[in-house]
C-alpha cells in the first residue's frame, strides 16, 4: 500500500511519515511535487485549505494508493493581525475528502508587512533568520515559539486529525 505525499518539503514529509507509520507500518511513501493551484503565499484559511485539497486530489488514481495527502501553509488576517495558518487534506481513491487545520500564531509586524505587500513567508523567514530553507526545518512557527513547536510537529497534529477521520469513516461503513 502506498501513501502519496503532494510535496517534497522535508518538514511536511517527516510529519506524514511519522504519524502514518503508527497506523500503517507496511506503507511505502512516495513524494510527488504537485502544484497547489493557489497563490505561492496563500492569504486566507480558505485559500490555504483549497491548496491542501488540490495537492491531495492530484495524487488519487495512482498505483496502489491508500490515500493522497496534501499539506499547505498560509496566513490569515484577523482583526488586523496576520497569523500563520496550515491545512491538510486526505483524499481517498473513491473521492472522499477529509480536511483539518492546525496551530496558528501571530506573525511579528515586520514579517506581516512584507507578506501583505506580496512576499512569501519562506524566503522572508530565510532573510529574517539569516538561514536558508527554514520552511524545510523548523519553519516560522519554530522560530516564533523558540523551537517548542516545529513545522513538522504542527503538520503531525494535522496528520492525526486526518487519519482519525479516515479511520472512523472506515468503521462506519
Pairing of strands 81-92, 97-101: antiparallel
Q: Which of 12-21, 44-53, 60-69, 77-86 has the lowest mean pLDDT?
A: 60-69
Assigned CATH for 2-105+150-171: 3.90.950.10
Please write the tens of the pLDDT for every residue from 10-42: 999 999 999 999 999 999 999 999 999 999 999
Cell of 42: 496563500
β-strand pairing of 81-92 with 65-78: antiparallel
How far apart CA 66 and CA 56 sit, in angstroms, is 12
Rounded Cα distance between 78 and 91, Å, is 29
Q: What is residue 30's three-state secondary structure?
A: strand
pTM assigned to the model: 0.95
pLDDT in tens, 95-122: 999 999 999 999 999 999 999 999 999 9
Coil/strand/helix, residue 142: helix
Nearby residues of 25 by Cβ (< 8 Å), 6 or more positions away: none
Distance from C-alpha of 110 to C-alpha of 30, rounded to nearest angstrom: 37
Amino acid at each position: 500500500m502506498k501513501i502519496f505525499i503532494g510535496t517534497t518539503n522535508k518538514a511536511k514529509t517527516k510529519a506524514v511519515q511519522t504519524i502514518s507509520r503508527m497506523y500503517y507500518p507496511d506503507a511505502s511513501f512516495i513524494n510527488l511535487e504537485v502544484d497547489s493551484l493557489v497563490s505561492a503565499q496563500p492569504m486566507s484559511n480558505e485559500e490555504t485549505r483549497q491548496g491542501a485539497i488540490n495537492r491531495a486530489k492530484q495524487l488519487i488514481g495512482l498505483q496502489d494508493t491508500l490515500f493522497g495527502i496534501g499539506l499547505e501553509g498560509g496566513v490569515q488576517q484577523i482583526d488586523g493581525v496576520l497569523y500563520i495558518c496550515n491545512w491538510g487534506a486526505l483524499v481517498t481513491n473513491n473521492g472522499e475528502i477529509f480536511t483539518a487545520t492546525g496551530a496558528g500564531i501571530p506573525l511579528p509586524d515586520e514579517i506581516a508587512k512584507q507578506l501583505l505587500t506580496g512576499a512569501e513567508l519562506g524566503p522572508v523567514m530565510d532573510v529574517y533568520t539569516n538561514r536558508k530553507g527554514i520552511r524545510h526545518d523548523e519553519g516560522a512557527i519554530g522560530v516564533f515559539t523558540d523551537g517548542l513547536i516545529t513545522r513538522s510537529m504542527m503538520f503531525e497534529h494535522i496528520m492525526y486529525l486526518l487519519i482519525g477521520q479516515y479511520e472512523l469513516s472506515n468503521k462506519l461503513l
